[in-house]
Amino acid sequence: MHPEDANDAAGPALPAGWQPFEDTGTGPVDPWAEGGAELPDRHLPLDHEDPTPSAVIMAAQSAPPPPDEPPTAPITVAPLPDRTASDATTVLPPASPPAAAPPPGTGTWPAAQPPHGSGAWPVVHPQHGSGAWPVVHPQHGSGAWPVVHPQHGSGAWPVVQPQRGSGAWPVVQPHGTGAQPVVSGVPGYPQQVPSWPVAPPPRRRWGRLIVLLAVLLVVACLVAGGTAVLVFPWLRDRVTGGGTAPDGSAPSPGFGASLPDRQAWIKDRIGAALGAQQKALLSGDEQGYLAVVDPAAEVKVRDGLRRQFRSLRAMQVAAWTEQPTHPLPAPDGQVWITELRSTPCFVTPICSSAPARAATRWRIADGRALLREWAPVQVQPSPHPWQVAELVAVAGPRTVVATTPEHEDRLARLLTEAEKAAKVADRFARPGKLPPRYVVYHAGDGAWGTWFSWKPGQHVSGGAVRVGPERWEIVLNERDSGPAMAGGVLRHELAHAASLAGLSDDDDKLWWLQEGLAEYAGLNGRRVRDYLRLTEIRRLMKQWDGDVESALPPRDAPAWQVVARYGVSGLTVRYLADRFGEAKFVDFFHRVVHDGKSVTEVSPQVFGVAWGALERDCAAYIRRTAA
């Protein structure tokens, strides 16, 4: 993948100021070692979830509670007699509340009468007209029940004196009850006694009432929302993400469906739109291809897809597959995000996968997916040239060559060179892995270094880019695409595309073997003495230890060392192919590179010679050739 000699028979010449492409990228480019980026599987706000009435509840809970009712009037008691009087009796409140009086008219509680004049239990009368006994509330803010203090200066608890001249203790009758008091012949406890002070009535909880009203409001909204969805189909689309499938395929999951169900249906709708687009592409229907675009999309979306359509048609697309990733709802809930992975087959409908990636957003309307946003992904090996450039192309029996319109006049010559190189490259393909078509892109100054997100540097003549697990495509630098250079560069790069197809793991330690085969293909049987890398090889021999298994040179290696390493690898493969035959060498190559076996294991099996001895023979051959 370095500049070939100006002499087509001897290889490429090195231009002035040439630097190794390892400074910015080296060898066949393989982005698949790092893997493709995926859309995060996150859970975003769903457009089918109804709004929660949190605002209503929070407003209610944040309001101040209603003020307490005015406290009940305090208990009125009779004046206390002077504690110093001879008939004064101190009465302590009982330890527990007395039992309530029996219902009116059922009898009286038997009780002993205290001695005449000794004092009595206080009797509390109900407030006039209330019909009920008063309830004693705790003192304001104290949290305790009120204590009745003796009158000022009496030093004793109040006692209610018997009515004058009755000889009996008064009996209290609730006002308005209609019951008649029953009086015993012996004065005793009053038939009705005041109840023990009870807890105050619970404070009204307005928050509970508001929560209840909020729940009722939610129910009403749900009922109203369901009715609105039935009445207005466009609202149903906003809530569920779509409507009834127009072509009778997967029906809409409906209101309240789970996210997985909705995602499956959205993906089905996007797939239906892509299917219609595929038919339009293969039939040459540009308007049908663009019909998937949302009318509300930006102009650049339609222009980008129109350019892609025309470039694919120019390259004679014969098959087209497009797979969307699992759709995710956008944060705004209005559109769905997915990534498209598209593979074109050129001229023939059979080819290996080469997924070009594009980020998209879709809107669902009346059960139909409409493309709102579209942009090629800028991560190697995307974007493919047909995604971002207007291309013109020609095709032959084994190759397709494409370039931009300003270089269209070079297509005929480049196609001829590419077809010759393809015949050489086919010899190195693994059985069953022969590429149906080699794809070659000729890049001008504006496009070089931007296609496939590859940064090779200006002094690189060309490169093989891995676009799929079993597919490599070629980029040719316009600067080195003249008649003297193009043939050698194309043989080198197409040999990579043929020999590495189906490679599961690209091991840098086998760089010497991969590049050696490509250098061997570039020479294509020409004389070794005309090999233009000999100058650098001779320079390396002064410090070389005879190891032919060179790993990928470091990026900071001097340019002449990189060139010399290419030359040593090329001469090693040339020696093996000349000594044992090209067919045996190709078998050796695939066992080591594709099957992952070591050279020490394979060498005796294929060549019948131990690798250690064979490597010494290769080193001696290289030294003789350099001398």
The DSSP string of 475-508 is EEEGGG-SHHHHHHHHHHHHHHHHHTTT-S---G
pLDDT tens across 456-502, in order?
866 789 999 999 989 999 999 998 888 888 999 999 999 999 999 98
Per residue in 291-314, pLDDT (tens digit) is 999 999 999 999 999 999 999 999
Q: Cα–Cα distances in Å, from 498 out to 45, 64, 263, 470?
A: 48, 80, 40, 10
What order of strands is seen across the sheet that includes strand 462-468? 392-395, 399-403, 438-443, 471-477, 462-468
pLDDT reading at 236 higher than 70: no
Q: How confident is the model at residue 220 (pLDDT cuts 50, 70, 90)?
A: low
* Model confidence band, residue 627 (pLDDT cutoffs 50, 70, 90): confident
Q: What is the mean pLDDT of residues 81-100?
A: 45
Tell me what the mean pLDDT of segment 107-127 comes to.
46
> If we measure between CA atoms, which residue out of 467, 523, 536, 535 comes closest to residue 495?
523
Q: Which of 208-217, 349-358, 475-484, 559-568 has the lowest mean pLDDT?
A: 208-217
**To the nearest whole percent, how much of the chain has pLDDT over 70?**
61
- As a whole number of angstroms, the distance between CA 334 and CA 465 comes to 38
DSSP assignment letter at 317: E
> 213 pLDDT band (50/70/90 cuts)?
confident
Ranges 194-203, 301-310, 403-412, 589-598: which has the least confidence: 194-203
Beta strand pairing call for 392-395 and 471-477: unpaired
Greatest mean pLDDT among 9-13, 139-143, 358-362, 432-436 lies in: 358-362
Residue 311 exposure: Cα atoms within 13 Å on the Cβ side: 21
Between 248 and 410, name the one with better pLDDT. 410
pLDDT at 204 over 80: no
Res 205: pLDDT: 57
How high does pLDDT run on average in the chain?
75
Q: Is the pLDDT of residue 6 over 80?
A: no
- By percentage, how much of the chain surpasses pLDDT 90? 50
Mean pLDDT within 452-459: 80
**With bands split at pLDDT 50, 70 and 90, how would you rate the model's confidence at 219?**
low
Give the model's confidence band at 242: pLDDT under 50 very low, under 70 low, under 90 confident, else very high.
Answer: very low
CA-wise closest residue to 322 among 382, 372, 271, 378: 271
State the CB neighbour count (10 A cutoff) for residue 209: 11
- State the CB neighbour count (10 A cutoff) for residue 17: 8
Q: In this model, does residue 556 exceed pLDDT 60?
A: yes
Cα separation, 218 vs 53, whole angstroms: 7
Binned at pLDDT 50, 70 and 90, residue 386 comes out as very high
pLDDT of residue 207: 65
The answer to whether residue 382 scores a pLDDT higher than 70 is: yes
Over residues 516-535, the mean pLDDT reads: 94
pLDDT at 321 over 90: yes
Whether 447 and 385 have beta carbons less than 8 Å apart is answered as yes
pTM of the model: 0.64
**SS3 assignment, position 282:** helix
What is 171-210 written as a DSSP string?
A: ----TT--PPP---SS--S-SS-PPPP-PPPPPP-HHHHH
- Rounded Cα distance between 79 and 74, Å, is 15
CA angle, corner 214, sides to 213 and 215, nearest 5?
Answer: 90
Of the listed ranges 368-382, 400-414, 445-459, 521-535, the least confidently predicted one is 445-459
Q: Are 160 and 83 in contact (CB under 8 A)?
A: no
pLDDT confidence of 109, banded at 50, 70, 90? very low
More confident residue, 499 or 20: 499
**Residue 268 pLDDT exceeds 90:** yes
pLDDT of 508 reads 81
